[in-house]
Structure 1
């Protein structure tokens, strides 16, 4: 006789009944289950919601209808009931029929996804509610075999988790390495040897920063509305720069164009006019994504400009304009050097090294960076020839870091595939 048999999930799960309005007095004193992450950890919150609620009791199996197949399944271990939105469902579990850990692993497996696809209209794209889950027919072994499978999967998962911890350490290392390289660049540490053979040439902006800055000041067009930029104090000089460099405010060496939002009637999706760039959603991995246009551009960024997301999701993100020209919305700033004596790639390096500082200055309900924050960043400026040398060294070093990051992402992908292979083999349908 086969140790495998077909059952309905309703044979061992029964839904806990009850649905409540958010302001129902019966649930007024209970905290709320905010989410179940993909590791199966429950997070509790006191945040209010306008969505109808259910109650979850200690010992209940809780399932996220949206992310069940990703592992958002857990047993609530609290000492008193909690609320959860109706995007979750709560069940009483009969452990005499199915091992709980077996079921938690099973819902992450390809077999469960296959059952959903075959028996539920919409498959895993549907929010899985009790009416979808409970009638599902699945093939399971007897309890003894279930426990053996749990032991085997747990041991394999432990090895995968150890691998994931190593991958996370590598990710942390590469992030720190990238930041350290950028910091070394703006402190002049990448060009220590270069400076030994390239000394001051008075009056030559290539090798004399004072001559460079004098030329920059001649070429800069000052905005009458712009506040007077204060001198840099010693407290703002958080690191030493070479004697051949000069401390300045970023606003002294860049032009900063702020964007402006348009009303819906001022733009279109019919490729009429010039592109309209609205925010971080336009910053793709392979360049700027264009999906809106305007025939009445006002704040125009041009090809090669450095674009900074200054508001909303992804603020602090940088990208180069790869279009001829475009109107930028309020969520974008466009940066260009004041003069050819300032290398834009070096400006990018400054902004990247100040990324955490810029993020920390996010203000308002929708976090963002204001013009003054960007313009007043203290920066060390080297002569022109050294700027170019720094950029060349940076591109070489960061290319190696990028390659390491790609390798780590590939390892992460393979780790995820390994976990799926473990589940596939453990829960493969049996004849």
Structure 2
């Protein structure tokens, strides 16, 4: 083992991306794609290592020729005594294969990770015999082609999984997931009950009277609804719509959790990065906006249009980027959140989101979003069916995540040969390579898949569609 700083000269890149002027020379950035610039600072063979770009941290580029590097990167060239002992293409594989491990050991920071020169320089890597480096390059090139192909396939399947989720939600709001029950009380009766409920709450001075919403035009009814369903606007289905303070409050090390839009995910509320406000400020803010169990939290700033039902049983509060919707007692909150996350409602949320840098889905625009309203019993059936289907999608995505993990390990399995090191707890699915061994590509594919069935994707898609077509 040898410290990186003893093996390589390490210098910092010099060009800020904002000052790049397209030209004839390569501009190596922390990102995956290179750019060009009118000047160059180096004319040599080198590695360019991303040391300060969070999403690209640890990415390593191999370059040979005239180039200039980003100021978010280190430039690595072999020290004089190691020039004949280092193959830079081999070490580009090394750094990229062990990228996650190197970043974990050397990066510092909280909100923005970065790697300083000292910690990077002191990190130890294997110094592999130059003959071994050269010998393995062909195998590494072949393995990279296989690994890249696998990862590309997995990424495509992940896209299909997300498309399947969106298709399920869209079919749900179009009434295509469950068989309609003619005995269900129609949604028109629900709307009358909601109207009466609001009038009672206004009379009790628990809510304010809402301004009339514009009628829904035929052009806004983008698909036909089953008999017994009704088109309505979001504002008709909730008794109040509020948001958090339009300023940044004073934060504390502990207190009442205070969340923004980034804490809202389709899987729930993530409090891991929540800030804290004082109990006194929480009570003051709660006079206008108090999230309660059963409410729907809906993102209105930043990444707008994400809805989640609040199932938290402790006190917290929200910033301006989160709207708190209180559904009528005659509307199933889980159905309404599901509908808001459907492609139909999401597209409208983006239409009503204004601004570029400071994006905002204003409350008065938000309530104009059109929502298909099924009968009450149908809402329950839809949520049950969607929950079952999403469980299939979750299983699929877990399988794909495991596949991705093992596909990434293929390169590492080749490098292990160079180090002549046996891992004490190596997963059985990762093939161990030997110099005189030829591994069929089918076995490599199996290794990448781990223990996943070969028909996982087809099976789950087929089953999901079967569930969607089953009778309620």
What's the TM-score bracket when you normalise by the shorter of the two chains? 0.7 to 0.9
Within 5 Å, which residues of 2 pair with 1:98-247? Answer: 98-110=86-98, 123=106, 125=108, 127=115, 129=117, 133=121, 139-142=127-130, 144-191=131-178, 193=179, 195=180, 198-199=181-182, 206-220=184-198, 227-247=211-231
Listed one character per residue, the Cα deviations across residues 118-167 of structure 1 (whole Å, up to 9, x for unaligned) are xxxx745572549965997852323x432221111222222222221221
Listed one character per residue, the Cα deviations across residues 157-201 of structure 1 (whole Å, up to 9, x for unaligned) are 22222221221122111111111111011001112x3x2xx215x
Q: How far 1:66 moved relative to its partner?
A: 4.2
Picking from 342, 346, 360, the partner of 1:355 is 346
Tell me whether 1:336 sits opposite 2:321 in the alignment.
no
Alpha-carbon spacing, 1:362–1:58, altered in 2? closer, same or farther (3 Å): farther
Tell me whether 1:414 sits opposite 2:403 in the alignment.
no
Describe the SS at the equivalent of 1:228.
coil
Alpha-carbon spacing, 1:242–1:34, altered in 2? closer, same or farther (3 Å): farther
**In structure 1, C-alpha distance between the alignment counterparts of 2:98 and 2:17, rounded to whole Å:** 36
- Output the TM-score relative to the length of structure 2: 0.69
Query: Are the equivalent residues in 1 in contact too, given 2:254–2:276 (CA < 8 A)?
Result: yes
Picking from 36, 52, 57, the partner of 2:30 is 36
Alpha-carbon spacing, 1:323–1:282, altered in 2? closer, same or farther (3 Å): farther
Listed one character per residue, the Cα deviations across residues 311-357 of structure 1 (whole Å, up to 9, x for unaligned) are 13x4433333203443322111112212x221111111111103354
Alpha-carbon spacing, 1:333–1:152, altered in 2? closer, same or farther (3 Å): same
Structure 1 residue aligned with 2:334: 345
Describe the SS at the equivalent of 2:316.
strand
**In structure 2, C-alpha distance between the alignment counterparts of 1:325 and 1:124, rounded to whole Å:** 35
Tell me whether 1:392 sits opposite 2:375 in the alignment.
no
Q: How far 1:302 moved relative to its partner?
A: 0.6
Q: How far 1:60 moved relative to its partner?
A: 5.3
**In structure 2, C-alpha distance between the alignment counterparts of 1:291 and 1:148, rounded to whole Å:** 53
- Output the TM-score relative to the length of structure 1: 0.75
**In structure 2, C-alpha distance between the alignment counterparts of 1:199 and 1:137, rounded to whole Å:** 70
**In structure 1, C-alpha distance between the alignment counterparts of 2:405 and 2:127, rounded to whole Å:** 29
**In structure 2, C-alpha distance between the alignment counterparts of 1:110 and 1:411, rounded to whole Å:** 18
Query: Are the equivalent residues in 2 in contact too, given 1:109–1:427 (CA < 8 A)?
Result: no
Alpha-carbon spacing, 1:245–1:281, altered in 2? closer, same or farther (3 Å): closer
Query: Are the equivalent residues in 1 in contact too, given 2:62–2:88 (CA < 8 A)?
Result: no
Q: Give the paired residue count.
A: 392
Structure 2 residue aligned with 1:50: none
**In structure 2, C-alpha distance between the alignment counterparts of 1:251 and 1:190, rounded to whole Å:** 25
Query: Are the equivalent residues in 2 in contact too, given 1:258–1:334 (CA < 8 A)?
Result: yes
Picking from 221, 224, 233, the partner of 1:249 is 233
Query: Are the equivalent residues in 1 in contact too, given 2:107–2:115 (CA < 8 A)?
Result: yes
Describe the SS at the equivalent of 1:146.
helix
Alpha-carbon spacing, 1:162–1:112, altered in 2? closer, same or farther (3 Å): closer
Structure 2 residue aligned with 1:260: 245
Describe the SS at the equivalent of 1:36.
coil
**In structure 2, C-alpha distance between the alignment counterparts of 1:145 and 1:61, rounded to whole Å:** 19
Within 5 Å, which residues of 2 pair with 1:14-33? Answer: 33=27
**In structure 1, C-alpha distance between the alignment counterparts of 2:17 and 2:101, rounded to whole Å:** 32
Alpha-carbon spacing, 1:71–1:89, altered in 2? closer, same or farther (3 Å): closer
Structure 2 residue aligned with 1:404: 396
